[in-house]
């Protein structure tokens, strides 16, 4: 089962990412433009279209929101205790905490969920993307920049296009409206392109950053925290909340995703070890080929 999942779910994803990685190593790519395409066009439209097509239940929406908020808070609390016990420098402590707490729910998460669950569970992952972005630009900014940055985080949240895509889709669903084909067709075309563009962009970002292996002890603690502590906390939370079925399986798998690229951006913005954050992203993404495969396999037995 493990090798079947690796070959049919993970390998195709890493193959497309590998193409993006090679492109970035051979050519000088405009990663800013690629990221903007994902952030402002492909991901919001994918979310909007998916919520109209797959239609998550109210229980799935509320359950996903509650789980992800609890997971973020639990991860934050544990990492604060761990980094203080290890007596890490403040900048490294912030980078390590972010590296464990903030996972790649969109560029990496959507393709994995879509492949692993045969197209089901995508709407659940869409809600996770929204919550993770809110967590990233509130708690994440406070961790990286300090409590005096809370206004900046709040302002950023209201600039997130995915928030408005989610709200628009829920309003349309609430009134049982049907968009005409003249709108649904281009939405479908753009939505279909999201997976390949997201994976190529992620691969290109990994290819441009490289790896330095500075602070190896802290690096491996962070990598293990993201890939193993995340799923362990998710398992405990899912059982405490009594979740089961598809909802529990998707949430469990998403908890094993690698660190998000936003951690590097925060590192650069607030001078909090951006090279270390890049190392964490590179290693967690590479090793997730094994750990995410294991999480998908375990999810079928545990839930």
Max CA separation in the chain (angstroms): 59
Question: What is the CATH code of the structural domain delimited by 2-302?
Answer: 1.20.1530.20
Cα gap 152→148, rounded to integer Å: 9
What pLDDT score does 203 carry?
87
What pLDDT score does 147 carry?
66
Domain boundaries, the chain: 2-302
What pLDDT score does 268 carry?
78
What pLDDT score does 237 carry?
97
Q: How far is CA 151 from the centre of its chain?
A: 24
- Report the Cα–Cα distance between both ends of the chain, in Å, rounded: 16
Cα gap 285→202, rounded to integer Å: 10
List of the chain residues with pLDDT < 50:
none
What pLDDT score does 153 carry?
63
What pLDDT score does 39 carry?
83
The answer to whether 213 and 264 are in contact (CB under 8 A) is no
Q: How far is CA 33 from the centre of its chain?
A: 20
Cα gap 56→47, rounded to integer Å: 12
What pLDDT score does 161 carry?
87
What pLDDT score does 14 carry?
92
């Amino acid at each position: 089962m493990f090798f079947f999942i690796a070959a049919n779910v993970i390998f195709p994803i890493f193959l497309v990412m590998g193409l993006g990685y090679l492109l970035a190593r051979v050519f000088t790519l405009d990663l800013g433009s690629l990221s903007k395409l994902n952030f402002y066009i492909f991901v919001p439209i994918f979310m909007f279209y998916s919520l109209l097509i797959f239609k998550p239940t109210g229980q799935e929406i509320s359950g996903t929101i509650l789980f992800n908020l609890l997971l973020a808070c639990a991860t934050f609390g544990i990492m604060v205790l761990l980094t203080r016990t290890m007596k890490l420098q403040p900048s490294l402590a912030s980078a390590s905490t972010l590296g464990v707490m903030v996972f790649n729910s969109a560029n990496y998460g959507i393709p994995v969920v879509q492949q692993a669950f045969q197209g089901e569970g995508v709407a659940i992952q869409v809600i996770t993307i929204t919550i993770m972005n809110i967590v990233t630009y509130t708690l994440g900014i406070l961790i990286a920049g300090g409590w005096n940055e809370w206004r900046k985080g709040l302002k950023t949240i209201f600039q997130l296009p995915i928030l408005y895509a989610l709200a628009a889709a829920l309003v349309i669903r609430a009134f049982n409206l049907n968009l005409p084909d003249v709108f649904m067709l281009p939405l479908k075309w753009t939505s279909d392109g999201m997976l390949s563009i997201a994976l190529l962009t992620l691969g290109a970002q990994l290819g441009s950053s490289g790896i330095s292996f500075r602070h190896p002890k802290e690096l491996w603690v962070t990598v293990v925290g993201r890939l193993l502590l995340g799923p362990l906390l998710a398992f405990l939370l899912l059982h405490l909340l009594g979740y089961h079925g598809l909802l529990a399986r998707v949430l469990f798998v998403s908890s094993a995703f690698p660190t998000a690229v936003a951690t590097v951006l925060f590192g650069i913005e607030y001078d909090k070890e951006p090279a270390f954050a890049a190392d964490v992203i590179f290693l967690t993404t590479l090793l997730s080929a094994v750990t995410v495969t294991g999480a998908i396999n375990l999810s079928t037995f545990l839930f």
